[in-house]
């Protein structure tokens, strides 16, 4: 039997594409070798945010007196925190499965192997399709550090299921994942050290705000070793030893546990990608057009394999674009679509949160683009002051010479919930004057944008 769409990978890109295609009435088969939801739902975005919310609740309880609320004997139960995380994941995975089956998507559990651009083999059965969408996601990258194979370290997977609180933790990598786990364990009272090769944490985010977040966490006890290279790892009864070099300096950090968090790499092997003669970049990323189509007209790629943006929400949008393109070809619809990366928001769910969309000052300066930076304290928002006693943050907006919005960056809760307003302004190419005319609810933290403009 020949199907209309075959999709490899059940993560945000894969299940979004499957649901959209199924809802449109197409005959869809979705292949997933592990659990629906992919890394994001099972061992990434959702479980980490569940843990972080428990940590944030614990933090708030400890400091409730700032809001004239007395809470005595505040404590936490890590095994129960982990159990709640698992319950949330199970509930959402079942939700994804329900939506797919409701839209008549055939779900096949197993390792899919591409035979050619119209055929996939899985569990000994051959599936033929008019179109293939590849959404294989990414894996944790472990750098070839001397001794790394001889020590017992965590990746995000082990950290998410750990039920015992270590006394100390070294994190190699100060990116998003590293900082979120640092925030969680710091809230639980763990001594955390972050070793980062770059000159600032959260590479790619606004450096000024990243430095402010780092300073805040340094006051809470996290030690940061920036511009520092890890040159060796060893382990004995005293703990795990991380040897580092920084220019002419050298040293060693010893902790009970080690978390490797230096980044992720797209999954390119194990599913027969080499059987397709599709164009790639020098780094091995799949080249796609603005409809997510590869050099083979009936093969589409969404998510981490493209190398554009390794974020779940980007992958979901790419999947929508790919399905719209397929529907246009199969059903002759007028619903054309194209992918835009102009306004992809990024969020770090620390406490406080930091969120960013569009250009950074560093990138604009690097490319010689003229801009104006407007920066206001979050205390300009009445709602923020009411809910953040003794805490401040920053909102930064970058304007082009014609006053259109180039970028927006926020340090302060709830940055993750209001950054979408800036995303819309950038995507729609609104000027500062046009954005100011939008009516914001009062009081709301989102009014900070209007205050800045």
CA diameter of the chain: 67
Closest CA to 419 of 442, 443, 383, 448: 448
Nearest to 255 by CA among 142, 172, 143: 172
d(CA 224, CA 47): 25
Distance between CA atoms of 276 and 115, rounded to whole angstroms? 8
The Cα angle at residue 359 between residues 184 and 309, in degrees rounded to 5: 60
Considering 118, 156, 403, 442, which one is annotated as catalytic? 442
DSSP for 105-156, written as a single string: PEEEES--EEEETTEEEETTEEEEEEEEEE---EEE-----TTGGGS--B-H
Q: Which of 268, 239, 237 is nearest to 252 (CA)?
A: 239
Residue 118 known to be catalytic: no
Contact 174, 198 (CB under 8 A): yes
From residue 381, alpha-carbon distances to 277, 350, 384, 407, 436 in Å are 54, 20, 5, 20, 15
Judge whether 268 and 102 are in contact, CB under 8 Å: no
Task: Specify whether the CB–CB gap between 344 and 314 falls below 8 A.
Answer: yes
CA gap 180, 192 in Å, rounded? 12
The whole-angstrom separation of Cα 329 and Cα 327 is 5
Q: Is 225 in contact with 196 (CB distance < 8 Å)?
A: yes
Would you please indicate which residues are annotated as catalytic (active-site) residues?
442
């Amino acid at each position: 039997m020949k199907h209309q769409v075959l999709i490899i990978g059940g993560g945000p890109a894969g299940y979004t594409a499957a649901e959209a295609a199924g809802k449109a009435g197409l005959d869809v088969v979705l292949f997933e070798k592990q659990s629906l939801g992919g890394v994001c739902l099972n061992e990434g975005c959702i479980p980490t945010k569940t843990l972080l919310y428990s940590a944030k609740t614990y933090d708030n309880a400890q400091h409730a007196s700032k809001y004239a609320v007395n809470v005595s004997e505040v404590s936490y139960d890590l095994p129960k925190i982990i159990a709640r995380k698992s319950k949330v994941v199970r509930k959402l995975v079942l939700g994804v499965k329900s939506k797919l089956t409701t839209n008549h998507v055939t779900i096949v559990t197993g390792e899919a192997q591409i035979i050619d651009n119209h055929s996939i083999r899985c569990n000994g059965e051959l599936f033929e399709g008019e179109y293939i969408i590849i959404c294989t996601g990414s894996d944790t990258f472990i750098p070839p550090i001397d001794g790394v194979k001889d020590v017992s370290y965590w990746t995000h997977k082990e950290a998410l299921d750990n039920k015992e609180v270590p006394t100390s933790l070294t994190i190699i990598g100060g990116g998003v994942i590293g900082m979120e786990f640092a925030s969680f364990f710091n809230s639980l009272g763990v001594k955390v050290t972050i070793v980062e090769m770059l000159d600032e944490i959260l590479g790619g985010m606004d450096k000024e705000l990243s430095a402010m977040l780092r300073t805040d966490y340094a006051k809470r006890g996290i030690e940061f070793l920036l511009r520092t290279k890890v040159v060796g790892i060893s382990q004995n009864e005293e703990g795990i030893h991380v040897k580092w070099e920084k220019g002419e300096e050298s040293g060693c950090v010893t902790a009970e546990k080690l978390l490797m968090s230096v980044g992720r790499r797209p999954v390119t092997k194990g599913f027969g990608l080499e059987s397709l003669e599709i164009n790639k970049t020098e780094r091995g990323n799949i080249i796609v057009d603005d409809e997510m189509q590869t050099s083979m007209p009936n093969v589409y790629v969404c998510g981490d394999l493209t190398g554009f943006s390794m974020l779940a929400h980007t992958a979901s949008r790419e999947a929508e674009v790919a399905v719209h393109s397929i529907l246009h070809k199969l059903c002759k619809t007028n619903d054309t679509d194209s992918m835009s990366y102009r306004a992809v928001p990024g969020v770090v769910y620390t406490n406080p949160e930091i969120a960013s969309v569009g250009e950074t000052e560093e990138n604009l300066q690097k490319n010689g683009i003229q801009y104006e930076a407007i920066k206001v304290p979050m205390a300009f928002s009445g709602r923020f002051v009411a809910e953040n006693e003794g805490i401040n943050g920053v909102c930064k907006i970058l304007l082009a010479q014609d006053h259109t919005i180039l970028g927006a960056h926020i340090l302060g809760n709830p940055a993750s919930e209001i950054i979408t307003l800036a995303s819309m302004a950038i995507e729609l190419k609104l000027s500062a004057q046009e954005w100011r005319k939008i009516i914001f609810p009062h009081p709301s933290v989102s009014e900070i944008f209007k205050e800045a403009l």
